[in-house]
Amino acid sequence: MKTFLACVPCFVHQTLSASCMATDDVDVQTKVMRKVLEELSAIDFSCSPPEMAKTVHSLIREISGNSDPYAEIKHEYNQKALLLYPQLKEEVRNSKNPLETAVRIAIAGNYIDFGAFPEIDEIILHEIIENTLHQELAVNDMSLFVDALDKAERIFYLADNSGEIVFDRILIEELGADRVTCAVRGFPVLNDVTMKDAVETGLTDIVKVIGNGGDFPGTVLSKCSDEFRDEFNKADLVISKGQGNYETLSSVKKNNLFFLLKVKCKVIADNMGYKTGGSIFMKA
């Protein structure tokens, strides 16, 4: 998916938030902002938004000298999500359709996205969990998913954000962790999940986790590691979480590729044809 003009204010917001998290030095924050604005003035709109976001966040890290501005917030939301884990497991346990409940929980967790939102409101998070569990999904390819799942020997789960990864864990446990490999970002970018978060949330204890080799907040296949691409190609079923993975994989040809996400901005809403706030469980 290409970058749209409406993505630009979002990159500028991310620059403000990330530079303020990266350093308290207003002069450095200002230097970051000036450089990002200069870079954005020459933006190549044919790139996907995560490719542009990589450029923006690389500049923020480089100029601020902070290799992981979102480190604190990632830890905070991993811990908050871990506190929710027992309650979410209980939802699955009490459900008449545990698989669909686990899918819905994984989609709800996609709200924890500091790329789309400058702040995550915990009251809203709880409302989103509740709504996503009980309201109609904008797209629900559950029957196609169940078919693919029945035959799948290798499942590749492309995670998205910290905190959200705990919600993903619920779904991974329903899928059967022994046939799942989970991918995280190779290096820090935004609040996207890395190996550190997979370890912190105990995901590495139940499933094989690999880094994708990149620092894009999405999956730019050509820039991923050989190990990642090999796993992607061999998988019978791929679960792609979140907007960033959708933006970078929506035109990739792959059997049994499923997108699970919350529609969080007007650009994605217009591109997909669904409303902001909608829950997507869609076969590519």
Binding site for a second copy (CB under 8 A): 5-6, 8-9, 12-13, 16, 19, 26, 29-30, 33-35, 37-38, 40-43, 45
Query: Closest distance between a second copy and the C-beta of residue 163, in Å?
Result: 24
Residues 159 and 165: their CA atoms lie apart, in Å, by 7
Convert 28-76 into a string of H (helix), E (strand) and C (coil).
HHHHHHHHHHHHHHCCCCCCCHHHHHHHHHHHHHHHHCCCCCCHHHHHH
User: DSSP secondary-structure letter at 97?
Assistant: S
Give the nearer residue to a second copy in terms of CB position, either 70 or 167.
Answer: 70
Query: Closest distance between a second copy and the C-beta of residue 55, in Å?
Result: 14
Give the nearer residue to a second copy in terms of CB position, either 19 or 181.
Answer: 19
Does residue 231 sit in helix, strand or coil?
A: helix
Give the nearer residue to a second copy in terms of CB position, either 33 or 284.
Answer: 33
* Neighbour count for residue 91 (Cβ, 10 Å): 18
Give the nearer residue to a second copy in terms of CB position, either 140 or 276.
Answer: 276
With a CB cutoff of 8 Å and minimum separation 6, the contacts of 234 are 154
Q: What angle do CA 280, 153, 89 make, to 5 degrees?
A: 50
Give the nearer residue to a second copy in terms of CB position, either 19 or 161.
Answer: 19
Give the nearer residue to a second copy in terms of CB position, either 36 or 224.
Answer: 36
Query: Closest distance between a second copy and the C-beta of residue 63, in Å?
Result: 13
Helix axes of 242-249 and 49-64: crossing angle, nearest 10 degrees:
120
Query: Closest distance between a second copy and the C-beta of residue 15, in Å?
Result: 8
Give the nearer residue to a second copy in terms of CB position, either 27 or 136.
Answer: 27
Residues 155 and 203: their CA atoms lie apart, in Å, by 15
| Residue whose entry in the numeric block shows the structure tokens 């500091």 | 114
Query: Closest distance between a second copy and the C-beta of residue 164, in Å?
Result: 24
Angstrom distances, CA of residue 217 to CA of 1, 54, 96, 185, 239: 14, 7, 35, 7, 16
| Six-digit token string for 49 | 């938004």
